[in-house]
């Protein structure tokens, strides 16, 4: 029997993330099925706003960015070591330290120290963007913040506790969606097509998330629907996205989005798409 999930308002994402769903979390929570027997599955994890708010008992969390997933794994296993590294970077924060840490990060290996670098760069960089060049090197410049704050110990402990129940994968979404069962609930938040036609929001990995990726995702979603599983998707309100998911329930939600790499914001609408 499915168990009703009670959202936890104290569990907030600890990363700044371009395209993150912090401002949409309350709208998403209202549309989550009232209990499900299987796993909560999120193939585009990012900052995990909905996951942390839901705190599901069983979850499969994945992202194609292995460095992001390792940060979650490190916090799951050793939140104290990660927080200690982060504290050190925040104490030393300056423009010189930022670019030195960025260089160290691009040469670094998976570890608690690397996770600390990742979170520091995320907090200190321009608008919390994760962007890489064709070589896979993180290349976002320093942001305007001169004072940063370390999450409290209890916040790190809560994040670690939530992740303790999750299976963490660094997989392509097609692999993850190919394993879902009819009792699962899937939340999909893929990289959006940019409003101004640029590839600004697709530079998430060295392989860009382009229109063909959106089409490949749509084919996977139809297979998920045929399996009997329920899904909720957030995506950009474009003719292409509406066409790809015609036949499902589609709602427009007003939001504020970045429309250029200069940090310009504009009122827009996003789509919430679901099969229930």
Instruction: Tell me what pLDDT residue 206 has.
Output: 45
- 53 and 179 in one domain? yes
- 98 and 149 in one domain? yes
Provide the pairing of β-strand 166-169 with 59-62.
Answer: parallel
Helices 112-124 & 79-91 angle (0-180, nearest 10):
50
Range of the domain at 31: 25-64+171-202+214-274
**What digits encode the pLDDT tens for the residues 24-73?**
999 999 999 988 889 999 999 999 999 999 999 999 999 999 999 999 99
> For position 104, which CATH number holds?
1.10.1020.10
Q: What burial class does residue 225 get, using C-beta atoms within 10 Å of its C-beta: 0-12 exposed, 13-18 middle, 19+ buried?
A: middle
Instruction: Tell me what pLDDT residue 202 has.
Output: 45
> For position 38, which CATH number holds?
3.40.50.150
- 83 and 31 in one domain? no
Instruction: Please say if the pLDDT value at position 201 is more than 80.
Output: no
Phi/psi for 264 (5° steps) reads -70, 135
- 221 and 139 in one domain? no
- 254 and 183 in one domain? yes
Residue 19 resides in a domain: no
- 175 and 270 in one domain? yes
Name the token pair of 227: 């399996």
Give the total number of structural domains in the chain.
2
């Amino acid at each position: 029997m499915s168990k009703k999930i009670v959202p936890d308002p104290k569990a907030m994402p600890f990363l700044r993330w371009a395209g993150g769903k912090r401002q949409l979390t309350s709208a998403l929570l209202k549309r989550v099925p009232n209990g499900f027997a299987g796993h909560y599955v999120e193939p585009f994890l990012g900052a995990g706003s909905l996951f942390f708010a839901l705190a599901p008992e069983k979850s499969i969390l994945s992202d194609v960015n292995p460095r992001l997933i390792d940060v979650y794994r490190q916090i799951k296993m050793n939140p104290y070591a990660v927080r200690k590294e982060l504290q050190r970077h925040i104490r030393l924060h300056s423009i010189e330290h930022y670019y030195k840490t960025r260089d160290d990060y691009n040469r670094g290996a998976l570890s608690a120290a690397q996770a600390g670098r990742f979170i520091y760069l995320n907090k200190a960089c321009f608008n919390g963007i994760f962007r890489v060049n064709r070589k896979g090197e993180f290349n976002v410049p320093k942001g305007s913040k001169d004072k940063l704050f370390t999450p409290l110990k209890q916040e790190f402990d809560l994040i670690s506790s939530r992740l303790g129940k999750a299976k963490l994968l660094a997989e392509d979404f097609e692999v993850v969606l190919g394993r879902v069962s009819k009792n699962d609930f899937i939340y999909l938040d893929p990289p959006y097509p940019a409003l101004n036609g640029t590839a600004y929001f697709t530079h998430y990995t060295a392989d860009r998330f382009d229109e063909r990726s959106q089409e490949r995702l749509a084919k996977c979603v139809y297979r998920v629907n045929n399996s009997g599983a329920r899904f909720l998707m957030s995506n950009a309100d474009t003719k292409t996205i509406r066409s790809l998911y015609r036949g499902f329930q589609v709602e427009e939600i007003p939001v504020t989005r970045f429309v250029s790499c200069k940090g310009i914001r504009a009122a827009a609408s996003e789509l919430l798409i679901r099969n229930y």
